[in-house]
């Protein structure tokens, strides 16, 4: 077998001819051309177009072998496309405007979905930001196109990216568990933008929306989905209570600094926020210490636990009674943060109660929520929202991938 043939087989790219190769330091550069070179196609739309001019050689990074970096090199022309104008011709091994081969990009996306930032960067030897751009291209090319069809029950959620104050609104399909849309911007405007993309017919098919208790989201839904059932999912209600508990703890910590009571609060955050049945013996001791020495904080703890129990009820009438009792209790608790939560829940009472009636299991809402939170943390380091959106869709959107990994034979 000749070296060029061996190389062509090893590269695993169809539709090419290998003309030669050379070593540049630790890199192997393989010169190739595409088989259908006589009749070039537009790189943007893929339609045949007459040649325009030559732009010389370009290089694409390919999968490495045994620690060796491999590059594909080829001469490129521009074509004069009737639809797109003068564009670089298409090549069978890479996407338009990419410096990586398709196989490299599929592998990068596969790794970005499967593992953490550092591992991906080290395995591929590319910057995390570059991985972000690759994921954007892969999702654009492989992502399902019909995600906005047949939406019945959707969830609207919001994530901060780039530390704080920059928000991303994310739409989830509760029936498939997929992220279907995301965009940056303020709540009302961004959600309105989504409903405009969806159009009036598909909006009319939406029966239920879960949101957090956010005025902007509520306003957009009242405007575009007047008939849909609005549900405030328990995930968000519980988070309000957890945040209130944490606020009380910090207040108490300030007030009791330097006293024995103050010491009992030290490192108590985790104990207070944890499910009581998951507490270890030491954590239990810590909790009973708080019970003995700090009545306000223990009251806050009981309030946080009580709302979880209230939302556990399966029958709506029981939940309704429990929630009403909770609001009354929280209102007279003399704990400012919980009084505020009580007011918020009273204001959105029907939506909170609707959660029980609709029986959207916690698993659906919470599962996707946790996964999205994990992905958005991993996305720190991207400098614009687009790669984060792409990574969210890749990890929570059932985007099919075709990584160049051999089928295992020993399992």
Shortest distance (Å) from residue 87 CB to Zn ion: 6
The one segment of 2-10, 40-48, 236-244, 357-365 that binds Zn ion by CB under 5 A: 40-48
Task: Indicate the residue among 86 and 114 with the shorter CB distance to Zn ion.
Answer: 86
Asked if residues 194 and 400 have their Cβ atoms less than 8 Å apart, the reply is no
Shortest distance (Å) from residue 110 CB to Zn ion: 29
Query: In 82-152, at which residue ranges do the beta strands (DSSP E only) sit?
Result: 85-88
Task: Indicate the residue among 50 and 150 with the shorter CB distance to Zn ion.
Answer: 50
Shortest distance (Å) from residue 85 CB to Zn ion: 8
Task: Indicate the residue among 123 and 140 with the shorter CB distance to Zn ion.
Answer: 140
The one segment of 74-82, 164-172, 203-211, 294-302 that binds Zn ion by CB under 5 A: 74-82
Shortest distance (Å) from residue 136 CB to Zn ion: 21
Among the listed residues 10, 44, 273, 308, the single contact to Zn ion using CB under 5 A: 44
Among the listed residues 7, 11, 70, 81, the single contact to Zn ion using CB under 5 A: 81
Tell me the C-alpha distance between 116 and 102, whole Å.
21
Q: How many CB atoms lie within 10 A of CB 383?
A: 11
Shortest distance (Å) from residue 378 CB to Zn ion: 35
Helix, strand or coil for residue 40? coil
Q: How many CB atoms lie within 10 A of CB 346?
A: 15
Contacts of 338 (CB under 8 A, 6+ apart): 241, 244, 248, 300, 303, 330
Task: Indicate the residue among 49 and 401 with the shorter CB distance to Zn ion.
Answer: 49
Asked if residues 86 and 78 have their Cβ atoms less than 8 Å apart, the reply is yes
Tell me the C-alpha distance between 349 and 367, whole Å.
24
The one segment of 78-86, 248-256, 289-297, 322-330 that binds Zn ion by CB under 5 A: 78-86
Q: Kindly identify the residues of this chain, within the stretch 285-304, that bind Zn ion according to CB under 5 A.
A: none
Asked if residues 185 and 165 have their Cβ atoms less than 8 Å apart, the reply is no
Kindly determine how many residues on this chain lie close enough to bind Zn ion according to the rule CB under 5 A: 6
The one segment of 32-40, 76-84, 341-349, 383-391 that binds Zn ion by CB under 5 A: 76-84
Shortest distance (Å) from residue 355 CB to Zn ion: 50
> Could you tell me what percentage of the chain is helix, strand and coil, using 3-state DSSP and rounding each to the nearest 5?
50, 20, 30
Among the listed residues 9, 35, 48, 83, the single contact to Zn ion using CB under 5 A: 83
Helix, strand or coil for residue 152? coil
Instruction: List Cβ<8 Å contacts ≥24 apart for 294-298.
Output: 294/252, 294/256, 294/261, 294/264, 294/265, 296/248, 296/252, 296/334, 296/335, 297/248, 297/249, 297/252, 297/265, 297/268, 297/272
Among the listed residues 76, 84, 203, 279, the single contact to Zn ion using CB under 5 A: 84
Task: Indicate the residue among 80 and 193 with the shorter CB distance to Zn ion.
Answer: 80
The CA-based dihedral angle spanning residues 332, 333, 335, 340, taken in that order and rounded to the nearest 10 degrees: -50
Among the listed residues 10, 29, 45, 306, the single contact to Zn ion using CB under 5 A: 45
Task: Indicate the residue among 44 and 208 with the shorter CB distance to Zn ion.
Answer: 44
Shortest distance (Å) from residue 113 CB to Zn ion: 31
Residues of this chain that bind Zn ion (CB under 5 A): 42, 44-45, 81, 83-84
């Amino acid at each position: 077998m000749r070296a060029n043939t061996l190389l062509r087989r090893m590269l695993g790219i169809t539709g090419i001819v290998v003309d030669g190769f050379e070593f540049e330091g630790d890199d192997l550069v393989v010169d190739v051309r595409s088989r259908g070179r006589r009749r070039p196609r537009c790189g943007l739309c893929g339609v045949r177009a007459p040649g325009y001019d030559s732009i010389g050689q370009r290089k694409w990074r390919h999968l490495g072998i045994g620690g060796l970096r491999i590059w594909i090199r080829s001469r490129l022309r521009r074509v004069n496309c009737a639809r797109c104008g003068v564009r670089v011709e298409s090549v069978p091994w890479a996407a338009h405007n990419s410096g990586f081969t398709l196989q490299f990009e599929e592998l990068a996306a596969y790794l970005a979905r499967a593992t953490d930032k550092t591992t991906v960067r080290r395995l591929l030897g590319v910057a995390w930001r570059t991985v972000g751009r690759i994921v954007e291209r892969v999702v654009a090319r492989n992502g399902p196109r019909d995600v906005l069809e047949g939406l019945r029950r959707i969830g609207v959620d919001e994530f901060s990216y780039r530390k704080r104050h920059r928000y991303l609104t994310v739409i989830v399909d509760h029936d498939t568990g997929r992220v279907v849309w995301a965009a940056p911007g303020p709540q009302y405007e961004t959600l309105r933008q989504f409903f405009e993309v969806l159009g009036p017919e598909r909006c009319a098919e939406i029966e239920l929306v879960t949101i957090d208790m956010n005025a902007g989201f509520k306003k957009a839904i009242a405007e575009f989905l007047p008939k849909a059932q609005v549900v405030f999912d328990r995930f968000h209600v519980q988070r309000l209570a957890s945040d209130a508990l944490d606020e009380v703890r910090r207040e108490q910590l300030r007030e009791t600094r330097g006293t024995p009571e103050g010491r009992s609060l030290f490192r108590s955050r985790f104990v207070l926020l944890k499910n009581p049945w998951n507490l270890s013996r030491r954590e239990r001791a810590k909790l009973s210490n708080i019970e003995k020495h700090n009545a306000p904080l223990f009251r806050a703890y009981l309030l946080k636990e009580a709302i979880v129990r209230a939302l556990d009820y399966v029958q709506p009438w029981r939940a309704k009674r429990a929630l009403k009792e909770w609001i009354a209790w929280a209102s007279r608790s003399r704990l400012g943060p919980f009084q505020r939560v009580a007011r918020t829940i009273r204001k959105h009472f029907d939506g909170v109660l609707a959660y029980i009636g609709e029986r959207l299991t916690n698993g659906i809402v919470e599962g996707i929520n946790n996964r999205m939170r994990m992905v958005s943390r991993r996305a720190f380091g991207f400098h614009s929202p687009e790669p984060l959106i792409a990574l969210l869709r890749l990890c929570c959107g059932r985007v099919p991938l075709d990584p160049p990994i051999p089928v295992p034979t020993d399992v």
